[in-house]
Amino acid sequence: MKTALITGSGGLIGSESAKFFAQKGYRIVGIDNDMRRYFFGDTASTAWNIAALSQELRDRYEHHHVDIRDEKSVERLFQKNAFDIIIHTAAQPSHDWAAKEPMTDFSVNALGTLVLLEATRKFAPKATFIFTSTNKVYGDQPNYLPLVETDTRFEVDESHPYHKGIDEHMSVDQTLHSVFGASKVAADVMVQEYGRYFNLNTGVFRGGCLTGPSHSAAELHGFLGYLVKCIADGKSYSIFGYKGKQVRDNIHAYDLVNMFWHFHQFPRQGEVYNAGGGRQSNVSMREAIAKIEMLTGKKANVIYKDDNRVGDHIWYISDLSKFKSHYPDWDITYDIDMILKEMCAATPTRA
């Protein structure tokens, strides 16, 4: 039986990967030490999702409470298992949190990734290595595109090449990343290097906003899930800067994991892909609020703040052309309305 190692297996993308690959006949070895609880508090814990995953997959899922920075523990897992694919989703994922503890952020995001790469090189050199990077590696470069303000969103001028979305040629240099963005750049480049220098089958997926009902959303991470939760519960939601007209593309967890699957069938070495909802699935904060209000029948309590988060994007939509050209059988299956409908249905509305 083929075996997949999934780090951050209790998270949104990790748990979706576990279920997806289990359905494909893979045995799943999951790593998750619930550091999300440490980052964002008890309400963001992934323990519930790990328990649900263990119950759903039963003997097809084997869980390990391991820190990805622990080289010896990670190597023991590689020595005991013949991994066909490593899907690395574990991370410290927040701009704001990273600034509080840069050493923790960098050690988890950069060093943890290096530990996994080195174990792959030594014990599973034929395996596919998938890394969930982020569009934050581009820093605030997208904010210097020619933006046009409308009633509900910012947009890129239609005459600009990036109007269809930002591609992988955008520079990661000379830009304000945030501490989180910098640690992910370090990991991103190292995954590429292990592909090109050591000839490993490594793929970097620079995600937009990753969404779905399995997200343990918190104020500092998982904006769409947290927004749905706040509106459903009647709690206030703060929007930082840009008058709520900032735009994000949103990719459903299933569609992203399906990208991983297609890459795994014909892997490349050190390849990089932008991975978001693209022009098929994107929304501004104002537009998202209006849609959720309609779906839940509840009015949002929104607080607008003038100061934006450091390095935050005003507009970001991914150009998916490169991945589609390499893997033409893949496409987006969830648009933003389908995503929001599913998330609202999974979030109980309190009277």
What does the pLDDT read at residue 226? Answer: 85
What does the pLDDT read at residue 223? Answer: 74
Partnered with residue 154 across adjacent β-strands are: 149
Global confidence as pTM: 0.94
Helix (H) or strand (E) holding 29: strand 27-31
Q: Which domains does the chain have, with CATH numbers?
A: 3-346 (3.40.50.720)
Residue-wise pLDDT tens digits, 281-334: 999 999 999 999 999 999 999 898 888 877 789 999 999 999 999 999 999 999
Q: Which two tokens stand for residue 175?
A: 């830009």
Query: What mean pLDDT, rounded, does the chain reach?
Result: 94
What does the pLDDT read at residue 218? Answer: 57
For residue 225, what pLDDT band results from cuts at 50, 70 and 90?
A: confident
Mean pLDDT of 110-132: 98
What does the pLDDT read at residue 349? Answer: 53
What totals of helices (H) and strands (E) does the chain contain, helices first?
13, 15
- Which runs of E-coded beta strand occur in 120-233? 128-134, 147-149, 154-156, 201-207, 209-211
In 3D space, the residue among 313, 88, 41, 303 whose CA is nearest the CA of residue 191 turns out to be 88
pLDDT at 351 over 60: no
Lowest mean pLDDT among 215-219, 254-258, 263-267: 215-219
What does the pLDDT read at residue 108? Answer: 98
What does the pLDDT read at residue 350? Answer: 45
Residue-wise pLDDT tens digits, 165-201: 999 999 999 999 999 999 999 999 999 999 999 999 9
Phi, psi angles (nearest 5°) of residue 176? -90, 115
Mean pLDDT of 50-55: 94
Partnered with residue 302 across adjacent β-strands are: 237
Residue-wise pLDDT tens digits, 234-248: 999 988 899 999 999
Q: How far apart are CA 205 and CA 44, in angstroms?
A: 24
The helix/strand/coil state of 226 is helix
